[in-house]
C-alpha cells in the first residue's frame, strides 16, 4: 500500500507477559499498524458498530472484544472477556479516546478510564504508543491520504504494581501526557 514503518522503542514487550497497549486513534490504519509493531498475542477492545462495515467488519468481529458503549451489560461483558484473555497471557489493546475525533484538528482527544482500570486491576504495565502519521496517510475522510512513512514510538512502560483503583485517573493522565508530548514534539523522524 506504499507505507514504510519507522519504529523507535524505549522498551519492547516480552513474550508470555500481559500488557495494556494504549495508543492514539486517528485512522483505520491504527489497527493494522498495531498488529504490525506488536509481535505477541493481543486482542483489541473495540466499538460494536464497526462490526457492520463490509469486509472489514467480518475480520473485526473475529479479532476483537466488541462493546456497545451505551449498554451497561455490554460494557460489563467486554470487561469480563478482557479479564479472561489477560488470564491466558494475552495482552489487551484499547484506543482510550474511544473513537476517532470528528474534528481533524484534535491532536489527542480525552481518554476514557477503561484501559487504566483493567491495567490496575490485573497489575499489568501500560505500554503507551504514539502513532504519528496515520491521519495524513489514511484518514476517515473519503478519498484522502497518500503513501509514505508511518512513525511509531513505543514509550517506556508504566508500572501499575501497587496502584489502587483510586489511582486510575492519575495513570490515565500520565499516559495521556506521554503520548501527547510525543505527538506535539516528535522524537521519531
- Does pLDDT of 112 surpass 60? yes
Position of cell 498495531? 34
**Confidence bin at 107 (pLDDT 50/70/90):** very high
- Does pLDDT of 15 surpass 80? yes
Is 109 part of a structural domain of the chain? yes
Please write the tens of the pLDDT for every residue from 32-71. Answer: 899 999 999 999 998 888 778 788 778 777 778 988 878 8
pLDDT reported for residue 180: 98
Is 92 part of a structural domain of the chain? yes
Q: Which of 107, 116, 130, 124 is nearest to 10 (CA)?
A: 130
Is 47 part of a structural domain of the chain? yes
Is 13 part of a structural domain of the chain? yes
d(CA 89, CA 19): 9
**Confidence bin at 147 (pLDDT 50/70/90):** confident
CATH number at residue 10: 3.40.1130.10
Is 89 part of a structural domain of the chain? yes
At a CB cut-off of 8 Å and minimum separation 6, what does 44 contact? Answer: 31, 34, 63, 64, 65, 92, 93, 94
CA of residue 52 relative to chain centroid, distance: 20
DSSP the chain: --EEEEEEESS-PPTT---EEEE---STHHHHHHHHH--S-EEEEEEGGGGGSTTHHHHHHHHEEEE-TT-HHHHHHHHHHHHHHHHTT-EEEE-TTSS--SSTT-SSPPPPSHHHHHHHHHT--EEEEEE-SHHHHS-SSTT----EEEEEEEPPPB--TT--GGGHHHHHHHHHHHHHHHHHS-S--
Is 189 part of a structural domain of the chain? no
On whether the pTM is more than 0.95, the answer is no
Q: Which domain holds residue 12?
A: 3-184
Is 172 part of a structural domain of the chain? yes
- Does pLDDT of 10 surpass 90? yes
Domain count, the chain: 1
Q: Which of 69, 147, 139 is nearest to 101 (CA)?
A: 139
Amino acid at each position: 500500500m506504499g507505507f514504510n514503518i519507522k519504529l523507535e522503542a524505549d522498551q519492547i514487550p516480552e513474550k508470555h507477559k500481559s500488557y495494556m497497549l494504549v495508543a492514539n486513534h486517528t485512522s483505520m490504519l491504527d489497527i493494522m499498524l498495531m498488529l504490525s509493531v506488536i509481535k505477541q498475542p493481543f486482542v483489541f477492545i473495540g466499538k460494536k458498530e464497526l462490526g457492520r462495515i463490509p469486509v472489514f467488519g467480518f475480520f473485526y468481529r473475529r479479532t476483537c472484544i466488541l462493546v456497545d458503549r451505551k449498554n451497561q451489560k455490554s460494557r460489563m461483558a467486554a470487561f469480563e472477556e478482557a479479564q479472561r484473555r489477560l488470564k491466558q497471557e494475552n495482552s489487551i489493546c484499547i484506543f482510550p479516546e474511544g473513537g476517532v475525533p470528528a474534528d481533524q484538528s484534535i491532536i489527542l482527544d480525552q481518554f476514557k478510564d477503561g484501559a487504566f482500570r483493567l491495567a490496575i486491576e490485573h497489575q499489568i504495565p501500560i505500554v503507551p504508543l504514539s502513532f504519528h502519521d496515520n491521519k495524513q496517510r489514511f484518514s476517515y475522510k473519503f478519498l484522502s491520504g497518500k503513501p509514505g512513512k508511518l512513525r511509531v514510538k513505543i514509550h517506556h512502560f508504566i508500572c501499575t504494581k501497587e496502584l489502587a483503583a483510586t489511582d486510575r485517573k492519575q495513570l490515565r493522565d500520565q499516559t495521556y501526557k506521554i503520548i501527547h508530548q510525543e505527538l506535539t514534539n516528535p522524537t521519531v523522524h
